Amino acid sequence: AVLIVDFGSQLTQLIARRVREAGVYSEIVPYQKAEAALAAMRPKAIILSGGPASTTEEDSPRAPQAVFEAGVPVLGICYGQMCMAEQLGGRVESGHHREFGRALVDVRKPSALLEGIWDADERHTVWMSHGDRIVALPPGFEVAGTSENAPFAIIQNEARKFYGFMFHPEVVHTPDGAKLLANFVHRVAGLAGDWTMAAFRQDMIARIRAQVGTSKVICGLSGGVDSAVAAVLIHEAIGDQLTCIFVDHGLMRLNEAEEVVRLFRGHYNIPLVHVDASETFLGALAGVSDPEQKRKIIGRLFIETFDAEAAKIGGADFLAQGTLYPDVIESVSAVGGPSVTIKSHHNVGGLPERMKMKLVEPLRELFKDEVRALGRELGLPEAFVGRHPFPGPGLAIRCPGGISKDKLDTLRKADAIYLDEIRKAGLYDAIWQAFAVLLPVQTVGVMGDGRTYEHVLALRAVTSVDGMTADFYHFDMTFLARAATRIINEVKGVNRVVYDVTSKPPGTIEWE
């Protein structure tokens, strides 16, 4: 296994991901705990991450000296490189030659790390982000690559298998970065690339068992991929010590609640409490049209309902959540960062504080596509695993203005037709999210010989990598015409369809 020592970079999880992609198991530990982890894990290689500190500051973090005495290959990235240089007797200075973004590296020397990827005298694009730089190498080290502002862009001590990159190989903006990291774990450390999602599944099962022992665990199901994968994995680990609670707020898409219940009770035989709270939710939302009000009401009711059900089950010490790595980063920056609240996401936070339970979060290190791969590994149906994301407050935020059961039913029918057409056209997987929005606007139309005065329906489809930014999907007009015609013919209450051509920013993906 590979030990990744974390100095607090936002990119550390990406290093782990690249190592996983190379088929090698890794664990991340904060630098303060690295010494204990080193002793317990006996890794075959160590990677030191980047980080926001400067080694020239007093009390800045360091790797335990044992890292360099373990007799295994060490790769330092950015801050990690500077730590390594300084701890082994080199010198780092801060300041005057900051380098951010794309840079060019000139390869000066061949090395085991670069072999088969970069040859001497070649020039390659990398992504840099640093303020400090090394000014004197530690004994035994040589320069293997330079950039305009970093004369020590790649350093190495081939005898001891110590390497350092000033740039970040883990980001996609360093085009050969993934190959370089794979070279480090395969060629330099000699690890076989045979670790797979199947192995992750087995590891995680062991970790969950060790964490919860004989205690009871409660897991909230939302109908989405993340909570479903978490629940199936945990059930595999501890069987019926797990109970799932599905708070049905009546704001799901057509037939979705039934599908969730069928999958979990029928297919997986997982104990599931299905709480039909739709009347409570719709009652509380009646007459409310402000988007933030709606979100707050739904968030509060969700927590109250979940809490009440959990109390009925009783005796559970653990709460399981399908938190992914991007959720972890975002909630960290939401707490500490200067960013303003655009929308209050109801499923981040809230529950754990209120319930004072310990958390089980088996997906905390994974990215969305890895969770999907794990879902497939666990045998979840493809249609479920490949699902578009769906917001916690559900259709309530796709019905601008006041909502009612009738409006929701109309929206559900139209949305199902739209998605059906998208699937038939083979476009579902090319789109990040697609959905219909029922507008609180009525317009005049003519059907047969009669006048109609019905609602406008907006169609939305976007492409995105992470939901943070998005582009509207460029449908073919004939597709839009076909979907619109079907919706108007088949859904009573809609007589006009429009397509949303706003990207994010300046729009958001959802309308509220």
CA nearest neighbour of 499 among 442, 460, 443? 460
CB-based burial label for 116 (10 Å; 0-12, 13-18, 19+): exposed
Q: Where are the beta strands (DSSP E) in 153-292?
A: 154-157, 162-165, 216-221, 242-248, 272-276
**Residue 451 Cβ vs ligand XMP, minimum distance, rounded to whole Å:** 36
> Which one, 187 or 504, has the nearer CB to ligand XMP?
504
Piece of 75-83, 134-142, 305-313, 386-394 that binds ligand XMP (CB under 6 A): 386-394
> Shortest gap between Cβ of 465 and ligand XMP (angstroms)?
11
For 55, the enclosing helix (H) or strand (E) is none
52 binds ligand XMP (CB under 6 A): no
Catalytic residue among 83, 124, 130, 170: 170
Continuous H helices in 367-494? 368-377, 382-385, 405-424, 477-490
Rg (CA), the chain: 26
Token pair of 6 as six digits: 């974390």
Token code pair at residue 252? 């799901």
Nearer to ligand XMP, 200 or 390 (CB): 390
- Peptide bond connecting 61 to the previous residue in cis, omega within 30 degrees of 0: no
190 binds ligand XMP (CB under 6 A): no
Part of the chain binding ligand XMP (CB under 6 A), chosen from 113-121, 145-153, 342-350, 452-460: 342-350
CA distances from 35 to 28, 53, 60, 430, 473 (A): 12, 20, 17, 45, 49
Q: How many residues bind ligand XMP (CB under 6 A)?
A: 14
Q: How far apart are CA 49 and CA 47, in angstroms?
A: 6
Q: What is the Cβ-side half-sphere exposure of residue 412, based on CA atoms within 13 angstroms?
A: 17
Minimum separation from the CB atom of position 510 to ligand XMP (A): 3
Question: Among residues 174, 321, 347, 495, which is the contact residue for ligand XMP, using CB under 6 A?
Answer: 347
Task: Using the minimum distance from each CB to ligand XMP, give the nearer residue, 201 or 412.
Answer: 412
The reply to whether 504 sits near ligand XMP by the rule CB under 6 A is yes
Distance of closest approach, residue 470 Cβ to ligand XMP, in angstroms: 7
CB 324 within 8 A of CB 360: no
**Which residues, numbered 409-468, are part of the site for ligand XMP (CB under 6 A)?**
433, 467
Whether residue 191 contacts residue 199, with contact meaning beta carbons closer than 8 Å, is answered with: no
Look up residue 55 and give its amino acid.
T
Place of tokens 């335990």: 64
Residue 396 or residue 483: which is nearer to ligand XMP going by CB?
Answer: 396
Stretch that binds ligand XMP, among 41-49, 339-347, 416-424, 482-490 (CB under 6 A): 339-347
Give the DSSP H or E segment for 436: strand 433-447
* Among the listed residues 389, 447, 476, 501, the single contact to ligand XMP using CB under 6 A: 389
Angle at 124 between CA 118 and CA 130, to 5 degrees: 115
CA distance 472 to 38: 47
Which of 73, 250, 392, 400 contacts ligand XMP by CB under 6 A? 392
**Residue 407 C-beta: closest distance to ligand XMP, Å:** 19
Residues in the chain: 512
- The reply to whether 168 belongs to the active site is yes
Residue 345 engages ligand XMP in binding (rule: CB under 6 A): yes
Minimum distance from residue 414 beta carbon to ligand XMP (Å): 18
Q: Could you give the angle at which helices 291-313 and 278-285 cross, rounded to 10 degrees? A: 150
Stretch of 104-112, 163-171, 390-398, 405-413 lying at the interface with ligand XMP (CB under 6 A): 390-398
Q: Which stretch binds ligand XMP (CB under 6 A): 183-191, 198-206, 308-316, 387-395?
A: 387-395
**Tally of CB atoms within 10 A around 311:** 10
How many CA within 13 A on the CB side of residue 14?
Answer: 17
**110 contributes a contact to ligand XMP by CB under 6 A:** no
Residue 381 interacts with ligand XMP (CB under 6 A): yes or no: no
Task: Please tell me which residue in 168, 249, 345, 455 is annotated as part of the active site.
Answer: 168
Neighbours of 65 (CB within 10 A): 10
Nearer to ligand XMP, 34 or 251 (CB): 251
The reply on whether position 508 binds ligand XMP by CB under 6 A is yes
Q: Is 400 in the site for ligand XMP (CB under 6 A)?
A: no
Q: Rule CB under 6 A: say whether 346 interacts with ligand XMP.
A: yes
Minimum CB distance to ligand XMP, residue 58 (Å): 41
Nearer to ligand XMP, 153 or 509 (CB): 509
**Both tokens assigned to 422:** 């998208």
Nearer to ligand XMP, 331 or 508 (CB): 508
Least distance from ligand XMP to the Cβ atom of residue 300, Å = 13
Task: Give me the active site residues, please.
Answer: 78, 168, 170
Chain contacts with ligand XMP (rule: CB under 6 A)? 343, 345-347, 389, 391-393, 433, 467, 504, 508-510
